[in-house]
Amino acid sequence: MMSSIKPPDDRLKESLVLPIKTLTGPGPSNCSERVLNANKLPMVGHLHKEFIKVMDDIKAGIQYAFQTHNDWTLAISGTGHAAMEAACCNLVEPNDVVLIGVNGIWGERFSNMAERQNANVKKMMKPMGETFTLEEIEQHLMTHKPVLLFLTQGESSAGTLQDLKGVGYLCHKYDCILVVDSVAALGGTAMFMDDWEIDVLYTGSQKVIGAPPGASPISFSERAKQKVLTRKKKITSFYFDMVELVKYWSADGVRQYHHTAPISNMFALREGLAELAEEGLERSWQRHNECALMLHNGITKLGLQLFVQDKKDRLPCITTVKVPEDVKWKDVVDYAMEKHLVEISGGLGNLAGKVWRIGLMGQNARRDIVQKVLIALGDSLKNATKSPS
Ligand code: PMP
């Protein structure tokens, strides 16, 4: 019997057209023209000299953005979750005691990953909206004697900024590796990976760096590298095996094929990192801080309340705003998008329905964008259905 070809769906005949939105949710952020143009560059082979130069540029860009000299510095092919999984599967072995700071969904997510590596997971809990003190961390290190501590610098579900100064020193005093998730913070607030003695640090490409999602910077300290090299058991993932990945990313020796990197994503990441370097970290941190303060003032003037009480705990990149009891949160989100093409996000995890999240990252950390979001928020509030009280 002859097979017959089924015709394609008619929808594939239409070209793809998209509106230009103001992406002021928790990410992705809008990309600059330079980044978008990088995505259109011609394809090259993933071991061609042009691409190898891009990889070297990315490595230098990450070393600058992270403020590290670590040689094991590269971009994982995949989104922030891929970098998180890479940190976890390279460092965690079965039965390892792993201490995880949980004050939002990202600690829970890392716990989930560590459990899949058969780790003995201990959670250090804090309500969403609060962060961990050095005393609390030391207490948990003494009690559990973990081999690894995981903390999230920018908890995007709660809008909190974890102070990391002194944490690396404490971890090393107790012979523990420090892993930090900075997906929602890097570039928008201070980071000194080497000075703060952070052993593994990763971020995403689509927030402050302002590139499309899909290539995630990560770096391992000498201590973390040694832990990987002296593992008792083989790393459970081939794709995320750092020992294999550094052979592909290493400047010395022959580059070995490991996988085909998402080439266009890497072009865009290179340009995002170049823009951050051009502006300078200090200016970028300051710009994000100033825009966050302007947004906070505007929100208060609208009669709304910020969710994070302690000013020092507020993440400049993502702000959480309490949803008033008489307002339907989804109406505001929908109205802002429909009428203003402005993204305001709802809450995640325990804060679903209780907060809105507004992100000002990368290209969007600008005064005119802050004004635009405040106008959209104010207008949407007026038009939102009042919940029956
Ligand atoms: N960690 C944090 C703090 C995040 O905000 C996110 C993304 N919202 C991730 C990890 C995961 O990144 P991705 O969605 O790119 O996989």
* CA of 326 relative to ligand 1 center, distance in Å: 31
Are 39 and 179 in the same domain?
Answer: yes
| 243 and 310 housed in the same domain | no
Whether 147 is covered by a domain: the verdict is: yes
What does the pLDDT look like over 270-309, one tens digit per residue? Answer: 999 999 999 999 999 999 999 999 999 999 999 999 999 9
Nearest atom of ligand 1 to the alpha carbon of 84 = 10
Q: Are residues 163 and 62 in the same domain?
A: yes
Q: Which helix (H) or strand (E) holds 85?
A: helix 80-91
Asked whether residue 155 is domain-assigned, the answer is yes
> Checking phi first, is residue 78 left (phi over 0); if not, alpha (psi -120 to 50) or beta?
left
Q: Which pLDDT score is estimated for 256?
A: 86
Instruction: Read off the pLDDT of residues 114-127 as tens digits, 9 standing for 90 and up.
Output: 999 999 999 999 99
Structure confidence at residue 387 (pLDDT) = 59
273, 61 Cβ separation under 8 angstroms: yes
**CB 154 less than 6 A from any atom of ligand 1:** yes
Asked whether residue 3 is domain-assigned, the answer is no
Range of the domain at 351: 280-383
pLDDT for 338: 97
The reply to whether 194 and 73 lie within a common domain is yes
Could you tell me if residue 13 is inside a domain? no
pLDDT in tens, 152-197: 999 999 999 999 999 999 999 999 999 999 999 999 999 999 999 9
Burial class (CB in 10 A: 0-12, 13-18, 19+), 214: buried
Total length of the chain: 389
> Strand 318-322's sheet: what is its strand order?
318-322, 355-359, 345-346
Residue 6 lies in a domain: no
Atom of ligand 1 nearest to the CA of 104: 3
Residue closest via CA to ligand 1's atom 13 equals 80
Query: Is residue 80 in contact with ligand 1, taking CB distance under 6 Å?
Result: yes
Q: Which CATH number fits the domain that encloses residue 178? A: 3.40.640.10
Q: Which amino acid appears at position 52 of this protein?
A: I
Domain end, chosen from 277, 295, 311, is at 277
HSE, CB side, 13 Å, CA atoms: give it for residue 221.
21
Q: Quick check: 251 pLDDT over 70?
A: no
Structurally, the chain folds into a number of domains equal to 2
Q: How far apart are CA 276 and CA 57, in angstroms?
A: 13
User: Are residues 165 and 311 both part of a single domain?
Assistant: no
Residues 233 and 113 in one domain: yes
Continuous segment of H or E residues that includes residue 218: strand 215-220
Asked if residue 242 and residue 95 are part of one domain, the reply reads yes
pLDDT per position as a tens digit, 364-375:
999 999 999 999
Q: Mutation test of ligand 1: which of 29, 77, 81, 207 has the most ligand atoms closer than 8 Å to its C-beta?
A: 81
Residue ranges of the alpha helices (H) in 250-303? 263-279, 281-301
What tokens does 96 get? 């390892």
Looking at residue 388, its pLDDT comes to 55
Same-domain pairing of 262 and 301 = no
Mutate to test the pocket of ligand 1, among 156, 179, 240 (most ligand atoms within 8 A of CB): 156
What tokens does 119 get?
A: 């780790």
Report the alpha-carbon distance of residue 269 to residue 57 in Å, rounded.
10
Packing angle of the helix pair 49-66, 263-279 (nearest 10 deg): 40
**pLDDT, tens digit, for every residue of 6-40?**
999 999 999 999 999 999 999 999 999 999 999 99
What's residue 231's pLDDT?
A: 97
Mean pLDDT, to the nearest integer, of 312-321? 98
Provide the CA 164 distance to its chain's centre, in angstroms.
16
The answer to whether residues 309 and 174 belong to one domain is no
- Residue bearing the CA closest to ligand 1, atom 1: 183
The answer to whether residue 388 sits within a structural domain is no
152 lines ligand 1 (CB under 6 A): yes
- Ligand 1 atom at minimum distance from 206 CA: 15
Examine the pLDDT at 143 and tell me if it is beyond 80: yes
**Mean pLDDT across the chain:** 96
DSSP symbols for 115-150: HHTT-EEEEEE--TT----HHHHHHHHHHH--SEEE
CATH (domain of 339): 3.90.1150.10
Nearest Cα neighbor of 270 from 28, 34, 29 is 34
Residue 241 CA from chain centroid, whole number: 20
* 93 ligand 1 Cβ < 6 A: no
Ligand 1 close to Cβ of residue 184 (< 6 A)? yes
ipTM associated with this complex:
0.99
Do 208 and 330 fall within a single domain?
no
Query: Would the pTM count as exceeding 0.80?
Result: yes
Task: Specify the ligand 1 atom closest to the Cα of 81.
Answer: 16
Strands 97-102 and 120-125: parallel
Same domain, 251 and 293: no
Q: What is the separation of C-alpha 243 from the centre of its chain, rounded to a whole number of angstroms?
A: 23
pLDDT at 218 over 80: yes
6: CA distance to ligand 1 center in Å? 39
Picking from 147, 359, 345, the residue whose alpha carbon sits closest to that of residue 232 is 147
pLDDT tens digits, residue range 230-248? 999 999 999 999 999 999 9
Query: Which of 16 and 384 is assigned the larger pLDDT?
Result: 16
Last residue of a domain, one of 230, 253, 277: 277
Q: What pLDDT does residue 255 have?
A: 86
How many C-beta neighbours within 10 Å does residue 69 have? 12
